Chains A and B, each alone.
Chain A
């Protein structure tokens, strides 16, 4: 008894044809959670992607895993005590945050710092910007598998960290800027060591450029991936290299020049397509432009004591204290105190170059603090709780060009020594907000290079 096709359910004649199968098949998209603990997410962002096969149909970004309440802590202490918190905002380029905050407070005061302080701030900002771009490009190259590029760039970053350490005393969280200037002058020999470090870093950048820019795999993974159009970028308030890669040449250093940026001749690299590869090229080129700015700054920086108004006499510190106690202030008014070099204070000569002499804003030089009672009272009023620098009542917004874009500080002051409200406008916040738009249509493997080119810094995103 032969089996007829009707008995055998697996006989080819009874199976539906391919078209029917495809029509009947129902697909569901899959929800894949990338993060919050994921090496390529820099540890703290959760992207919930809805996948149709490998293609990202929809994405939702959840942040806040590093929220450290910067804005709340800033209201608890004095204005100068906010500066260590600002270091930890964008922790790859901390000097830019410090300087941005101090510029905002100085705007409230209506202060201008000395020329030398402005040049020092520019030099340190640009060094910080280079460390940021080195870390960003290095990390995103590592996530694509180019581990060598990461090692080379971290090696180059070490040269810059040594420079920063010689100036500020710390490698990463430096708290260098003060309201009215910077903490201390550049050490002797800084110009040579800085230019030497720049040469070495330039060599590293050239090596990595040779490794990556024409590398078929790297280019294929980054080109035409993560595209965003000019209009979308502006609508989402994206700034920085992300915006410049789409073709808009908005750079705060050109649009609202602050410090002495209007005296330098530098170019702003602008891309075309708005994809990851353009952002990579923008960042590489921006590092070169930062070096140009530093070199020009070293040529133009005013040298030596500019505002020194002593008559050249020196006096030992103890004698100065005795004179002051006995009320003979005129004898010590324009005299320089010589104190033990172990006391951090042999800086009055340099101090006048880098701090504005404004009693309400900047700390007095240490010779005055230890040497005479006016200096001591001035220092006390600036530092102790309940006393401290008091900007006049009001509000001010100051935008600075961070490594990621426009970093703005909006400070509301109520006339007391504590800031009433400190708001940071984080550049990468708006970029991460636009991520769902950027990721739509790309495949899952493209999430990694796109996210790497966003340069999300958690301290800044979540504050």
Chain B
């Protein structure tokens, strides 16, 4: 698990830290690593009804080098796990990972020979959004939690 330090330090540095955190949390460039059914709810969340753009996270960048949040959406099988690790390694710091859907959190009800039982066995995860699939309101709740986490982190510049 990624250890994030709480912001400490003097007045000016903590104000500066808060400002960077504010800027980072409202400009999330997501990399949607969409594999399965959760992708449908991801689409619903991203589109006009449950708009995710109002949180500043509306532009998916389809390249790992250009994004900072990796949304792992949908079941990861053992065949796909090395690909996921490679994409995660290609992203530049600061990066966060959201495990979207219960298949990525713990494997879901696919306890079988083909499914990774939770992506945190492969890459470190910041926010877990359970649900099969999670309702869009659930996703937005998870996104807000991620934003709070980003704000409260010690920002490396």
A and B touch in the complex (CB under 8 A): yes
Q: Assess whether B133 is in contact with A37, with CB atoms less than 8 Å apart.
A: no
For chain B, the count of residues having a C-beta within 8 Å of the partner chain is 32
Does A250 sit at the interface, judged by CB under 8 A? no
Closest to A158 in B: B49
* Minimal Cβ-Cβ distance residue in B for A162: B49
What is the total of A-B residue contacts with beta carbons within 8 Å? 96
Size bin of chain A's contact surface: 35 or more
Collect the chain B residues with CB atoms within 8 Å of residue A72's CB: 112-113
- State whether A43 touches B110 (Cβ < 8 A): no
Nearest to B112 among chain A residues (CB) is A69
Kindly name the residue among A68, A72, A87, A155 whose own CB sees the greatest number of chain B CB atoms within 10 A: A68
User: What residues of chain A lie closer than 8 Å to B41, measured between beta carbons?
Assistant: 171-172
Picked from B33, B39, B48, the residue with its CB within 8 Å of the CB of A151 is: B48
Determine whether A246 belongs to the interface, using a CB cutoff of 8 Å to chain B. Answer: no
Within B12-68, the residues touching A (CB, 8 Å) are 32-37, 39-41, 43-44, 47-49, 60, 62
Q: Which of B36, B47, B62 contacts A66 (CB 8 A)?
A: B36
Find chain B residues with CB under 8 A from A36 CB. Answer: 80, 83
B37 near A172 with CB under 8 A, answer yes
Q: Name the contact of A64 in the complex, choosing from B34, B39, B48, B79 (C-beta under 8 A).
A: B79
A150 to B132, CA, bound (A): 23
Task: Tell me whether A67 is interfacial, beta carbon within 8 Å.
Answer: yes
Complex contacts, B87 vs chain A, CB 8 Å: 37
**Nearest Cβ on chain A to B139's Cβ, whole angstroms:** 12
Distance to closest chain A CB from B46 (angstroms): 8
How far, in Å, is A462 (CB) from chain B's closest CB? 8
Residue of A nearest to B31 (CB): A37
Do B115 and A68 have beta carbons less than 8 Å apart? yes
A43 and B112 contacting across the interface, CB-CB below 8 Å: no
**B147 in the interface, Cβ–Cβ < 8 Å?**
no
CB distance from A40 to the nearest CB of B (A): 9
Q: How far is the CA of A157 from the CA of B40 in the complex (A)?
A: 10
List chain B positions with a Cβ less than 8 A from chain A: 32-37, 39-41, 43-44, 47-49, 60, 62, 74-75, 77, 79-80, 83, 87, 109-110, 112-115, 132-133, 135
Closest 3 CB pairs of A and B: A91-B37, A154-B47, A69-B112
Beyond the given pairs A458-B35, A458-B36, 18 more chain A to chain B contacts, judged by CB atoms under 8 angstroms and listed by A's residue number, are A37-B83, A39-B62, A43-B74, A65-B80, A66-B80, A68-B77, A69-B110, A69-B113, A69-B115, A84-B109, A88-B36, A91-B37, A91-B40, A135-B40, A154-B48, A155-B49, A158-B49, A173-B133
